[in-house]
Amino acid sequence: MIIIFQILFASFVLYVFGSIAKKRKQGMLGVKGLLFWVLFWLGALTVVLWPEALSRLADVFGIGRGVDLAIYISMAVVFFLLFRLHIKIECVGRDITTLTREIALLKHNEK
């Protein structure tokens, strides 16, 4: 059963690498983003293919089970991504404000 999951997950990671490469080619992903996502998915693949590696890493950090370490890391990553997403939304909001202001002034000057 675990082998089927490992094959499916490895195939999914390959698909993800493909889309990362595509996004990079299209100029939608910077070097930092590329490194982050490649390392993230490589880490996830390592953990799925060699689950005992995670247990050993958990031991190093003094955490009982490997799965606990995976949950902690996942939560940290999710919070970090949420934070980045929020910042991005704020930046887009500011751009919308600038455009809204320009349009308001232009419309007024046209009258």
Partner 1 sequence: MFIAIVPAYNEEKRIVTVIEKLEGHVDRIVVIDDSSFDNTVSLARNAGAIVLEHTVNRGQGAALETGHAYARSVGAEFVLHFDGDDQMDPHDIAPALAYMKEKKAQALIGSRRLDEHSTVPWFKRHILLPIGKMINHFFVRERLSDVHNGFRILHKSVLDSIVIEQDKMAHATEIPAKIIAKKIAFVEFPVTFTYHEYGQGTLSGFTIIKDLLFSKFISK
Residues that bind partner 1 (CB under 8 A): 86-87, 90-91, 93-94, 96-97, 100-101, 103-105, 107-108
Q: How far is the CB of 39 from partner 1 (least distance, A)?
A: 22
Q: Where are the alpha helices (DSSP H) in 50-65?
A: 51-60
Q: How far is the CB of 94 from partner 1 (least distance, A)?
A: 7
Answer for the pair 51, 1: CB distance below 8 angstroms, yes or no: no
Q: Where are the alpha helices (DSSP H) in 1-111?
A: 2-25, 31-49, 51-60, 66-110
Other Cβ atoms within 10 Å of 54 Cβ, number: 21
Nearer to partner 1, 65 or 86 (CB): 86
Q: Indicate the length of the chain as a whole number.
A: 111
Nearer to partner 1, 22 or 86 (CB): 86
Nearer to partner 1, 36 or 41 (CB): 36
Q: How far is the CB of 33 from partner 1 (least distance, A)?
A: 16
**Residue 88: HSE in the Cβ half-sphere, 13 Å Cα cutoff:** 6
Q: How far is the CB of 14 from partner 1 (least distance, A)?
A: 34
